[in-house]
Amino acid sequence: MPKILVARPIFPDVIERLKQYFDVDWNQGDVLAADELKRRLADKDGALTAGEPIDAGVLAAAPRLRVVSNMAVGYNNFDMAAFNAANVLGTNTPDVLNESTADFGWALMMAAARRIAESEHWLRAGKWQKWSYDGFLGSDLYGSTLGVIGMGRIGQALARRAKGFNMQVIYHNRSRVAPEIEAELNAEYASKQDLLRRADHVVLVVPYSKESHHTIGAAEFALMKPTATLTNIARGGIVDDAALVEALRSKQIAAAGLDVFEGEPHLNPDLLSVPNVVLTPHIASATEATRRAMANLAADNLIAGLGVGPRAGQPPNPINPDVIGKARS
């Protein structure tokens, strides 16, 4: 029976599914340290991860490892060059979290625009003594301009929601989406600089890579309206968090909402000292239905990738399908 490592606590019923096919080593505690991860992968044929870094060193220490299934859409924790060199299959879990993540992005954007977290903290501190005409004035979403950077599945889901708010949608992407999608979403393609100048609310939904590192930094904040908001539901590192702190403190932009951070779960401590930012702990996909769907899809990928189950050899979401069927090298 193939051996697998489940590197994080997940739903017990998903573990029971996996036990039908595998000898399961399930980590139910804290995130595994790098050395412990290597040790526990040494005799494994597969792994189910949720952000653990898997690079050439890890693969070299696990000569039997053939499939690593990431319980996430993003896979910047995988060194795909090393995966390809070793003929190790990587998989991810796209699509099942699109709507939940878009819902959360919308909620985070609204919270930032309407100063919900800031005003709640003020109320909880006992500072509310009277109504005031200028108390916590925010900015409207209805009738404003939404700028989406990254018009993939989640970006398109956000753009669909903008219709109900009568928003103008502009977007920037590595390449333009198909004309029929632009027409369906009533979305206009723009350069990044033009989008930043025009948008009232900017939402980031781009995958992380070396090329997208600090997509938004000091130069970009200088282009934005002083009334604008920024929402990041993509990945930490897309935004230069230190530059964001300065932009918020100086009121270069009005507010921000962040679900992801550079170096998370650690974050720039200065973010805690600025009132006009909403901070959440990477929970954009955190509904029970969505997280269950992600866990089960990750299990499906691992089961099929290791050549067992009803879809043996045909995992639903291969990242590097060219290695399927090749011997581990």
Query: Which positions are annotated as active-site residues?
Result: 235, 264, 282
Residue 274 neighbours by CB distance under 10 Å: 17
Instruction: Name the residue type at position 219.
Output: A
Residue 1 neighbours by CB distance under 10 Å: 10
Buried-exposed string 207-217: b where 16+ CB fall within 10 A, e elsewhere: bbeeebebbbb
Task: Let me know the angle formed at the C-alpha of 260 by 106 and 209, rounded to the nearest 5 degrees.
Answer: 110
- The helix-helix angle for 98-113 and 288-305 (nearest 10°) equals 140
Contacts 24+ apart (CB under 8 A), 113-119: 113/138, 113/139, 113/140, 113/141, 113/201, 113/229, 113/254, 113/255, 114/138, 114/139, 115/255, 115/276, 116/278, 117/278, 117/279, 118/255, 118/275, 118/276
**Dist CA 312 CA 304 (whole Å):** 4
